[in-house]
Structure 1
Amino acid sequence: MRLFDTRTQEVVPFVPAQTVRLYVCGITPYDAAHLGHAFVYASFDALIRYLECIGHTVHYVRNVTDLDDDTLRTAAKRDTHFQVLARGEAAQFDANLARLGLRPPAVEPFVTDNVDAMIPFIQGLIDRGVAYSLPDHRVYFNIDHPNYLAFSQLSKDEALEQFREKGGDPDAPDKKNTLDFLLWQPSENGQPSWPAPWGAGRPGWHIGCSVMIHEHIGATMDIHGGGSDLVFPHHESEILQAESLTGQHPLARVWMHCGMVALEGVKMSKSLGNLVFLGDLLNEYSADAIRAMLLNNHYRANWTYTTEVMDAAQARVHRWQRVVGDRTGGPITQAEIDGFNDPDLTEALAQLGDQLEDDLNTPGALAVLDELADTQRAKALFMCGRVLGFFQTLR
């Protein structure tokens, strides 16, 4: 298998061990899951299913960032406790991904359940001289570090612009560098707070993932994934924190980042309010149709959603279903494939594997399904479709 590694900016060989350790950044649950979320998690679902199909176990961890400024702000606006808001939205998110037929993670850690582990982690960074505390209880990571911006490959000016846009505090007083990022901050009145050696407060954004990775996977992993909007500052910061504390690197053998989804040419975002919600789509279209629409875009591509694209995916899936007939099935396994003494099926699965091992080329994999439908090879279509998570339900 070959995958594009964001860190090296190259398509590199990926030789999976028997167990593949995968961490994908999860949601900040202050609103419903939208199509951008679905694209990321459907892409990694295809990767997980293929790796399992060829005999590997995937230890999949996907976090929930239930403690951040947006969640606290939204909870206050709705006059509800932030955890009531976050847990409710996270549960609805999980339910919609299940309706889409995506595999749940093996572990789904919440930031608030891991704060106690963050405190010694931050203290370790202070002890190593790469972080510093201020009298008002703020703790910052000092970006005066030889590897800073090596991952994102941004200039200092580009980094400053993104840092400001994504919630950074470049103008905060007493920082050593404008781009130093928060590890810990004092809580305002009514906000959650935890005791810590440098003063009560709450963690910053980036430290959460570094600690949850350390707690639930270890010092290094095979694949780290997320949306391309997380490259800087989030993943840049994760790397510095984790590798500075443990001395082990790389944090991830391969970094996979998914492209952004647009509506009418404008990137979907909560701030712009131009979202297509997954729950709404599931009320109108089949899960297979939504999966086909998502996977028809390469995971690294930026693309635009239209109702015409969605309708075309529904028609495509209906054509597959007419060929397959009334069949449903769960995840396909290598043992199940080995049980078929069918040269046609073996050839079809090899063609599918060629596409998926080529940097997870899901559009090419769907084209294999189309060709099987065109030639009325029902059994091969059904089995290959199951590799990608299709044909789980009849609709």
Structure 2
Amino acid sequence: MRAWSAPDVPALPVPGPPVKIHDTATGELRDVTPQGAARMYVCGITPYDATHMGHAATYVGFDLLNRAWRAAGHEVTYVQNVTDVDDPLLERATKVKVDWIELAERETELFRQDMRALRVLPPAHYVGAVESIPLVISYIERLRDAGAVYRLEDDYYFSVSSDPGFGGVSGYEREEMLAVFAERGGDPERPGKQDPLDCIVWMAERPGEPSWESPFGRGRPGWHIECTAIAQEYLGGSFEVQAGGSDLVFPHHEMCASQSHVGAGAAFAQTYAHAGMVAYDGEKMSKSRGNLVFVSHLRNSDVDPMAIRLVLLQHHYRSDWEWQDAELWSAVDTLVRWRKALSLGAGAPALPVVKTVLDALADDLDAPAAVRAIDDWAALTLGTSGLADNTDPDASRQVHQLIDAALGLSL
């Protein structure tokens, strides 16, 4: 599957510092300096509707990690999946009377357009669930050979008890696991399972649903095994960062970690990073509630995509927050001010703000601090007091490159 086109990333006058990011599993900041290329997996969309601000906040948030690594001089191997066959997609296709393949292709293309408009660096490998079915089948066979897969009727389940470290990503107690599992696509009440928390890895063919041949009979993959197999294929074991929204901590990332422990004999990732949830009208933004603000709708209303991205940057990636239209219009005004400051050519010294911004982003992707530093530079440059004796003739060019390379804002 193709990704989207990549924006140019300007070179910066100084290298960025080593990057640290919050690890959900330990609750601590972790140095994610790689030995070779930095490897990151960010869980992708299920393409049954347009990209909303909750999605955008996650992908822009971890785009900052990609950029911070690059600023520090590292190559980055970034992988993202597309769950282009799954229950929500099939249910939506049936409801709106559209072929599921057509729906998936349409919404995936809209996602590409949104990411390109927001200047998110594309993954090196953009992999659909359907095209990865041979990888999934092979990985299920590895789990089966390790004694970690069992048959229930015609479905196949991964046994969480096969991994002694199960629960190490989320840190949840069992009762919380059971409750969340039921809310997020699990089936803890199904009779005959060895453990209510066991997750399906191969779903037998259902009437009217797509299916593929496999050693386990005709069917299709479960959700968690898809990401496990793709990540192992393209990144290998113990890659630097597994990322996604905080609603993926359990069961999704927990299951991926356990399937990797058992099937590959290695940690799935060294660090698990999670973005906060975005609310609207007082509740978490979600398709089931319908309280969504779509990136494409704003773009089609002639809103500058850089203003959308700036709103996202003004909230720390781990924070839960609520979308406010007033913030968007304030961001538009901020960009006008920044562009005016950049148009002057000379300005307040550039190197201090370059260092401040790169330090902020290397410290758990602190984009709000980076934005404040740029805003302070613009205010000083536009002001007159004390600037005449301390003017950098190359400030505009260097700060423009900084805003582009580190924050992803094209001005």
Work out whether the TM-score is over 0.5.
yes
1:359 maps to: 364
Aligned 1:234-273 pairs, distance under 5 A: 234-249=252-267, 251-273=268-290
Equivalents in 2 of 1:79, 1:343: separation in Å? 58
1:338 maps to: none
Q: What is the deviation of 1:390?
A: 4.6
Equivalents in 1 of 2:198, 2:295: separation in Å? 36
Equivalents in 2 of 1:365, 1:16: separation in Å? 23
**Residue in structure 2 matching 1:274, options 273, 291, 295:** 291
Paired-residue identity, %: 37
Equivalents in 1 of 2:277, 2:170: separation in Å? 17
- SS in structure 1 at match of 2:255: helix
Aligned 1:1-395 pairs, distance under 5 A: 1-134=19-152, 136-144=153-161, 145-249=163-267, 251-282=268-299, 283-325=301-343, 344-376=349-381, 377-392=395-410
- Output the amino acid matched with 2:295: L
Equivalents in 2 of 1:76, 1:219: separation in Å? 38
Q: What is the deviation of 1:6?
A: 0.9
- SS in structure 2 at match of 1:59: strand
Range with bigger deviation, 180-189 or 375-384: 375-384
- Output the amino acid matched with 1:286: D
Q: What is the deviation of 1:166?
A: 0.9
CA contact (8 A) 1:372 1:380 kept: no
Q: What is the deviation of 1:378?
A: 3.0
- Output the amino acid matched with 1:53: A
- Output the amino acid matched with 1:277: F
Q: What is the deviation of 1:380?
A: 4.0
Equivalents in 1 of 2:71, 2:171: separation in Å? 35
Change (3 A) 1:343 1:374: closer
Equivalents in 2 of 1:392, 1:17: separation in Å? 31
Q: How many residues align?
A: 377
Change (3 A) 1:151 1:192: same
Instruction: Give unpaired runs (5+ residues) of structure 2.
Output: 1-18, 382-394
CA contact (8 A) 1:137 1:201 kept: no
1:215-263 CA distance string (max 9 Å, x none): 21112211111000000000000001112111122x2121110000001
CA contact (8 A) 1:137 1:200 kept: no
CA contact (8 A) 1:101 1:389 kept: no
Equivalents in 1 of 2:120, 2:135: separation in Å? 29
1:338-377 CA distance string (max 9 Å, x none): xxxx993332211111111111100000011011101115
- Output the amino acid matched with 1:165: E
Equivalents in 2 of 1:34, 1:184: separation in Å? 30
Change (3 A) 1:62 1:201: same
Q: What is the deviation of 1:391?
A: 4.9
Q: What is the deviation of 1:381?
A: 2.9
Change (3 A) 1:292 1:66: same
Equivalents in 2 of 1:223, 1:326: separation in Å? 40
1:339 maps to: none
Q: What is the deviation of 1:16?
A: 3.1
CA contact (8 A) 1:373 1:381 kept: no
Equivalents in 2 of 1:386, 1:6: separation in Å? 29
Equivalents in 1 of 2:190, 2:336: separation in Å? 56
Q: CA RMSD in A?
A: 1.8
- Output the amino acid matched with 2:158: F
1:332 maps to: none
Q: What is the deviation of 1:2?
A: 1.8
Instruction: Give unpaired runs (5+ residues) of structure 1.
Output: 328-341
Equivalents in 2 of 1:281, 1:16: separation in Å? 37
Equivalents in 2 of 1:343, 1:70: separation in Å? 52
Equivalents in 2 of 1:314, 1:47: separation in Å? 24
Range with bigger deviation, 31-40 or 114-123: 114-123
- SS in structure 1 at match of 2:200: strand
- SS in structure 1 at match of 2:279: strand
Equivalents in 2 of 1:168, 1:143: separation in Å? 13
Range with bigger deviation, 9-18 or 177-186: 9-18
1:100-125 CA distance string (max 9 Å, x none): 22222111100000111111211211
Equivalents in 1 of 2:183, 2:344: separation in Å? 50
